[in-house]
Structure 1
Amino acid sequence: MSNPPQAYATDEDREKRSAEVLQELVPSPDGPGCAAAVGRRGNVVWEAGRGKADVATGRAITPATVFDMASNSKQFTADAILLLAGRHRLALNDPLSKFLDNAPAWTRSVTLADLMHHTSGIPDYQDLLEDKGVKLTDPAGQQEAITAVLASRPEDPPGRRFSYSNSNYVLLAHVVEKVTGTPFPTFIQREFFTPLHLRMTLAPATEVPGKAKSYDEKGGSFTPNSSPWKQYGDGSVQTTPGELVRWADNYRTGRVGGTQLLAGVTEGAVNTGGVLSARGVKEGRYGAGIVLLPDKSLVHRGDWEGFHSTFKVSPDRNTAVAVVCNVEPPDSLPAANQLLDIWTK
């Protein structure tokens, strides 16, 4: 008779095993590392850090260490669009051209839903800027990215297939600014961070108090990694894993946006066709800045200049995990899966 799946009788057992998962992910505490957190219905039930937030000074990673959440920021951008749709300020089937001055002809065929679900066919602005000779070590802001995108053309007809592109979310941030007349970071702060009491900042390429430095690793040595690029919408939320799992409770409660926003998170989600397999997401449908897996859990990954984040919400939306690192880990998704298993059994 086979043994039943392991259960964790007490939170003390769960905390012990969770610490072991983090230690397995970060074997040595002497270099850069990771922090992780687990939330239940909006409360942080476990969090820890291992490794160095700053190798030069020896500053340790703790639960209070701030990381760049990279593409895990996209869910806030998508939810801002859903929030405005719920207020009848825009519609998901609106063409991109509606929100642009001197719009290129091709933008009449791209809808906001195409941007949200990565079916616009628009090339990634990071590639476009680099093709123009703009290096990651050169200054480049939001307008430079948008100008490069609008000077290009979709590589596929809009709506044909899923193709992940950061350009989509930079453009969605522009739409929010155009509709509201408010800077995008200010809108996100006012509509999401403040009402949910989240200690989060949307600040591209900015040092914030308590933030980790990010690193590249080669041959066991670590080189600081940073870029002066200042785009937003596709990334740039700065926070801790504990705050990210507190945010996850909005997927259960709909405190911001209500049932209409919650429905919009997964309505119209498109098959990723294995495009995200390199990020460990072999099956799934891309919704509003987050992937819906076959078991109904939500997941997203983020990678930017040495920062890496994995965020996952349980199928019943009661439990969430976040694993964030300041150097590329072996793979943080299995660790996130393990933590979710530990705290949902």
Structure 2
Amino acid sequence: MKKPTAIIWVLRLGAAILTIGSLYLFAPWRAAIGYLMPLPATVEAQVDAATDYGLDGIIVYVDRAGHAPEFYAAGWHDRDLRIPANPHALFKIASISKLYIAAATAMLVADRQLDLDDTVADFFPDLVGQLANAERITLRMLLQHRSGIPNWVEDPDRWAITSGEVNDYLALVFDDPAEFEPGTRYQYSNTNYLLIGNILDQALGYPHQQFIRAEILDPLGLSNTFASVDDVEIERIPGGYDPGWPQENFRPRVHHVPGGTMVASAEDTGIFLRALNDGTLFTDTEQAIYSSIYEYGHTGLLAGYSSIARYHPDIDAVVVQFVNTSGGNSWTATEVVYDRVVRILRREG
């Protein structure tokens, strides 16, 4: 057999290098390699390096017990307009909104305006026959994502809805078979919190976001948190308030479905999360109810918006991260950066 010439060996080596380079640049390996790299000296250095992971812009807020709040930002607030990332920008927090709805529900249950064992059929008799197992799915199951109701987000017809009406999204799952028997297992479904929003509106007799404003946001002094983009003053949008989108694209992307609508700054989100976890938001009864129905941190994802908000009890720290990039491998990169930030904080003690 003829031995490869030197030129052949060079070509083979070049192909191998290109293959490895492609894996690093275009596959999840890029984020995985980033996870394994030595940690930088500071959180600021890690945030500055986030753009190396393919993220356009990033905001990080850190609230550590015994320290002043820390704000970090890197990359672009708006890449096309060349506006730098702003650590105080407003952001569509997507499913982090579910924490506020769960908190409001706990308050109403404690006040006996709601009962966790009431069923969807009790609240909405007209859904019997349209929504699978409506007469057996309880409010508790909705809150815990144990209802078996399909996730409306996974319906391909969702893009055809232009009305902005919540019930049009709910109708996407009418007559669909249940994913599983109610209460038998966990499966995340945005339809659960769509229904809870409607239940709260019915119990209160007015929009549940008004209750959230009066009982949660105002008492905590959260003036940079809003029910949706519709509630944000237009003058606040130019110059650094909507990461990822220029002003003319901000309004058309309003997300109206309960459990994913809210807009907030990273600081406001962190203040809320601290209060949710340390007991200052609730009475003892409300805290016990909340602990039985939902989690104490969350992630969020909308087109162009990726967010993580968690409390870390081992270091008594709240860390909120907003990234104005989604799709592809960006979520993996987002989680890697967040994990590295927390590891740096643990190292610092």
If the TM-score is normalised by the length of the shorter chain, which range does it land in?
Answer: 0.7 to 0.9
Bigger strand fraction: 1
Distance across 2 between alignment mates of 1:206 and 1:136: 25
- 2:88 maps to 1:64: yes
2:226 aligns with: 201
SS state at 2:257 partner: coil
> 1:34, CA displacement in angstroms?
0.8
> 1:66, CA displacement in angstroms?
1.0
CA contact (8 A) 1:120 1:157 kept: yes
SS state at 1:88 partner: coil
Cα–Cα, structure 1 residues 207 and 252, in superposed 2: closer, same or farther, change >3 Å?
Answer: closer
Q: Could you report, residue by residue, the CA deviation over 1:208-241 in whole angstroms, capped at 9, with x for unpaired residues?
A: 52432437xxxxxxxx899646333221211121
1:337 aligns with: 339
1:234 aligns with: 259
2:105 aligns with: 81
2:192 aligns with: 168
Distance across 2 between alignment mates of 1:317 and 1:206: 35
2:168 aligns with: 144
Distance across 1 between alignment mates of 2:169 and 2:254: 10
TM-score when scaled to structure 2?
A: 0.75
> 1:44, CA displacement in angstroms?
5.4
Across the two proteins, how many residue pairs are aligned to each other?
Answer: 293
Q: Which ranges in structure 2 are unaligned for 5 or more consecutive residues?
A: 1-39
> 1:179, CA displacement in angstroms?
0.3
Structure of higher CA gyration radius:
2
Cα–Cα, structure 1 residues 207 and 264, in superposed 2: closer, same or farther, change >3 Å?
Answer: same
> 1:300, CA displacement in angstroms?
2.0
Q: Could you report, residue by residue, the CA deviation over 1:24-52 in whole angstroms, capped at 9, with x for unpaired residues?
A: 222399x8311000013597521111122
1:275 aligns with: none
More deviation, 63-72/250-259: 250-259
TM-score when scaled to structure 1?
A: 0.76
Which amino acid is 1:202 matched to?
Answer: A
Q: Could you report, residue by residue, the CA deviation over 1:244-294 in whole angstroms, capped at 9, with x for unpaired residues?
A: 111112134322322233333332xxxxxxxxxxxxxxxxxxx51x3xxxx
Distance across 2 between alignment mates of 1:42 and 1:233: 35
Matched residues, percent identical? 20
Cα–Cα, structure 1 residues 137 and 171, in superposed 2: closer, same or farther, change >3 Å?
Answer: closer
Q: Which ranges in structure 1 are unaligned for 5 or more consecutive residues?
A: 1-14, 216-223, 268-286, 291-297
> 1:166, CA displacement in angstroms?
0.4
CA contact (8 A) 1:44 1:246 kept: no
> 1:115, CA displacement in angstroms?
0.6
CA contact (8 A) 1:140 1:228 kept: no
Alignment of 1:1-345 (within 5 A): 17-27=42-52, 32-41=56-65, 45-105=69-129, 106-128=133-155, 130=156, 133-135=157-159, 138-198=162-222, 199-203=224-228, 209-210=236-237, 211-214=241-244, 228=253, 230-267=255-292, 287-288=293-294, 290=295, 298-315=296-313, 318-328=316-326, 329=330, 330-344=332-346, 345=349
More deviation, 171-180/15-24: 15-24
2:13 aligns with: none
Q: Could you report, residue by residue, the CA deviation over 1:276-323 in whole angstroms, capped at 9, with x for unpaired residues?
A: xxxxxxxxxxx51x3xxxxxxx54211111100011101258310011
RMSD: 2.9
CA contact (8 A) 1:42 1:249 kept: no
